[in-house]
Structure 1
Amino acid sequence: MGGTVAQAHPVDTELRDRLVTVVPLISSFLRRAKQDMPAGMRQAFEAAGLGPRHGAVLAHVWSSGPMSVGEVARQLNLSLTNTSQLSGELTRAGWLRRESDPADHRRTLLSVPPERHAEFGEFLDRRSDVLLRAMNRLTPDQREGFIAGLSAWAQEIEETTRT
């Protein structure tokens, strides 16, 4: 899949060299999320043994609203077992809440407790600030191209992890 696309549309050497330089910087920034956590959140994550994968689940539920474990698993391309474990650990640590779906009481929904919204929102704001400043430097057309590129990259990642 990804190899076929890359071979069909080769990237010139200069662009490839720029990507090889930029992607590790972005990856490094993403791995340093703990540094941007408010002190109380960082302490709570450390005390509960929560890490980046927990943060991804929490961020997804926070931004998407109440959803089932299965929905989180599908949307984050995680196994149901793994997602259930991560969400259980987040629930025990007080970062997620499990509630019966009012429309279908057999189904359980995950949500972020109201008392955690502000603290986690502050963390997401801190993490998003660098990206939003970068986006402000781009023209509207460049922003659309940037989003299109990230979306295409995410789609390739998703397709690669399915096989």
Structure 2
Amino acid sequence: MSTPRAHDAGESDDSDVNGVDDAVRALLLLMPRMAGRIKKTPVPEALQSFSLAPRHLSLLSYLLFDGPMTVNELAAQLQVAPTTVSLLVGDLNRQGILERREDEADRRRRIIGIAAGQQPAIAAWLAPGASAWRRALAPLTPDQRQVFVDTLLAYEAAVSDEEPG
């Protein structure tokens, strides 16, 4: 694991290391606050009995925003193995949160979607986060938004590279 480097106030560096360190410091202070606020987002009453976890949020988000899809499509979006998605889908299907139906084009395939009765509660649960991201991203240009998303993806990859295991 790398550690933050301290710099003397008079130290000159053409690569703007001090600026990067200032940004790192700001983000190290910001990220725990953001994570704490996200964790405090209340699960709607209609969903509280289902023991939903953060791993369910991404799956439900894809289905809410992109509509029904196959297990393999979900696995590709979530960047996990299809067996992992199958387990999540099976659990959520048993609880009545998701529905499986035959694909009209290929009856061997199953299409996964949010159960109609659960759609409003799931949309309400995800709406505050989506609204906050829209407000934060709206002032940016499309290129700036892409840099922001790419930066978060690069951070995720870097953190994954540093995790023991």
**TM-score scaled by length of structure 1:** 0.74
1:101 aligns with 103
Identify unmatched segments of 5+ residues in structure 1.
none
1:21 equivalent in alignment to 2:23:
no
| 1:1-163 pair list within 5 angstroms | 12-33=20-41, 35=42, 37-42=43-48, 44-45=49-50, 49-135=51-137, 138=139, 140-141=140-141, 144-154=143-153, 157=156
Aligned pairs, number: 147
What amino acid maps onto 2:54 in structure 1?
P
- Highest Rg: 1 or 2? 2
Distance across 2 between alignment mates of 1:12 and 1:147: 19
SS in structure 2 at match of 1:99: strand
Distance across 2 between alignment mates of 1:15 and 1:94: 44
SS in structure 1 at match of 2:102: strand
Please report how far the alpha carbon of residue 155 of structure 1 lies from its aligned counterpart in structure 2 after TM superposition: 5.5
Q: Judging by fraction of residues, say which structure has more helix.
A: 1
Distance across 1 between alignment mates of 2:160 and 2:72: 17
Distance across 2 between alignment mates of 1:148 and 1:94: 38
Identify unmatched segments of 5+ residues in structure 2.
3-14
Distance across 2 between alignment mates of 1:155 and 1:109: 32
Please report how far the alpha carbon of residue 158 of structure 1 lies from its aligned counterpart in structure 2 after TM superposition: 5.8
Task: Verify the 8 A CA contact 1:58 1:95 in the aligned structure 2.
Answer: no
Identical counterparts, % of pairs:
23
17-26 or 148-157, larger mean C-alpha shift: 148-157
Distance 1:161 1:104, change over 3 A: farther
What amino acid maps onto 2:53 in structure 1?
G
RMSD across aligned positions (CA): 2.8
Distance across 2 between alignment mates of 1:116 and 1:106: 26
Distance across 1 between alignment mates of 2:107 and 2:159: 36
